[in-house]
Amino acid sequence: MNKLFITHEDLKTFVEALKKTCDEFIGPSRQHLNDIAFGDVKNDGEILLNYDGNTILSPRTFLLPQTETLFEIKGSIGGKVSSIEDKKSRIFYGVRPCDTLALSLMRRFFLEGIVDRPYQDKMENATFITLACAKPCSERSFCREIGSGPVAKKGFDIQLVAINRGYLVESGSKKGGAILRKYKKLFIVSTPSDIKESKRILKDFAKEAKPINYKRLAGIMRDDLVKESVWDDIGLRCVICSGCITVCPTCSCFSVTDRMNGTSGVRVRYCDGCPYAGFTRMAGGAMPKPDHKDHIRRFFEHKLNVDVERYGVPSCVGCGRCIETCPGNISIRKFIDDAMASVKK
Ligand code: SF4
Ligand code: SF4
């Protein structure tokens, strides 16, 4: 790893310079009720260059927005369909390692095999600057146990690790390397004591974390060995508010609808997801899984079982957001323990 170093002052200069190179500079700032949220701070808004905790929502909201117009339709037979392209260049600053891993998983979903053009356009024009964590962002996060923090291993263009006198800097892609070369006057080579300090911070963060055996967990779920009472409890608690699927950095499900006015209109895609009864309703109204508990079960099965089979890793990155937001006090972390402990005999 080629570790560079940048001072606090030079990081400000670096960020200001980068803002001039993109259409939108998406960074964390303090918002309503002191929450930290990503927003476009290119022209206004006070960016947090370093911060404790995590943002309310991940960068997913910019790459897979809640609603997005895909194309315009004009005329019926022989009419014209024109795609709506989003080619804005965006730099994301201060993305946490868990969300960086989530981006890698989303890339696989949207860009491997059948390529999703709208997602591809946005990703091709995006740069990700990750900010490693110095301490857990909340009591609910379990990144250390699931292996997504405190530093990102991949999926970033540039990664910063905060230490006392500034930041260690590494590039994770050709794009990141080119940016660091362009602004090389702002960076110096880190010293052995810088590296030692960063290792100590990261080690302190990760100590006492017991890795989750997610392959064993996936096996238990695949073999349908989780006690029915665990699923029943989840089904009773879920009030279908959709908070979990809204905040999750790896939820990728969507539906499309045409909004027409006569023979003109638009096709819109919107985020959809497991808790909704209508999500898997079939033509003719058939419901393969009519019970509500099965809808939220699908959320857990997808992340902890299906994706382990498909990608070799879970698509829960342990950010804890769904636990934080759930009014029914449902915890995917608790579910993991319950599932491991309550295997049917
Ligand atoms: S946040 Fe909780 S209550 Fe809301 S849909 Fe998700 S599991 Fe159900
Ligand atoms: S399932 Fe929950 S804890 Fe896991 S990545 Fe999604 S929001 Fe974070």
* CA-based torsion, 109, 114, 118, 120: positive or negative: positive
Domains of the chain: which residue ranges?
A: 4-206, 214-341
Contact 269, 253 (CB under 8 A): no
Angle subtended at Cα 133 by Cα 128 and Cα 135, rounded to the nearest 5 degrees: 165
Instruction: Write down the pLDDT at residue 263.
Output: 87
| pLDDT given for residue 314 in this prediction | 96
CA 268 to chain centre: 22
Using 70 as the pLDDT threshold, list the residues of the chain that sit under it. Answer: 1-2, 343-345
Among 303, 306, 330, say which to mutate for ligand 2: greatest number of ligand atoms within 8 Å of CB: 303
Helix (H) or strand (E) holding 69: strand 67-74
The confidence score (pLDDT) of residue 345 equals 56
pLDDT tens column, 69-102? 999 998 877 788 899 999 999 999 999 999 999 9
pLDDT at residue 209 in the model: 83
Give me the pLDDT at residue 344, please: 57
Q: Which two tokens stand for residue 133?
A: 């964590």
Supply the residue whose CA is at minimum distance from atom 2 of ligand 2. 322
Q: What is the pLDDT of residues 116-167, one digit of tens each?
A: 999 999 999 999 999 999 888 899 999 999 989 899 999 999 999 999 999 9
Measured CA to CA in angstroms, residue 47 lies from 131, 147, 162, 296 at distances of 13, 28, 16, 36
Q: What is the pLDDT of residue 3?
A: 84
Instruction: Give distance in angstroms: CA of 246 to centre of ligand 1.
Output: 10
Separation of CA 230 and ligand 1 centre (Å): 15
CA 65–ligand 2 middle distance (angstroms): 18
For ligand 2, what atom is nearest to the CA of residue 319?
Answer: 8
- What pTM did the predictor assign? 0.93
In the structure, which protein residues have their CB atom closer than 6 angstroms to any atom of ligand 2? 247-250, 303, 316-322, 332
Q: Which atom of ligand 1 is nearest to the CA of 241?
A: 4
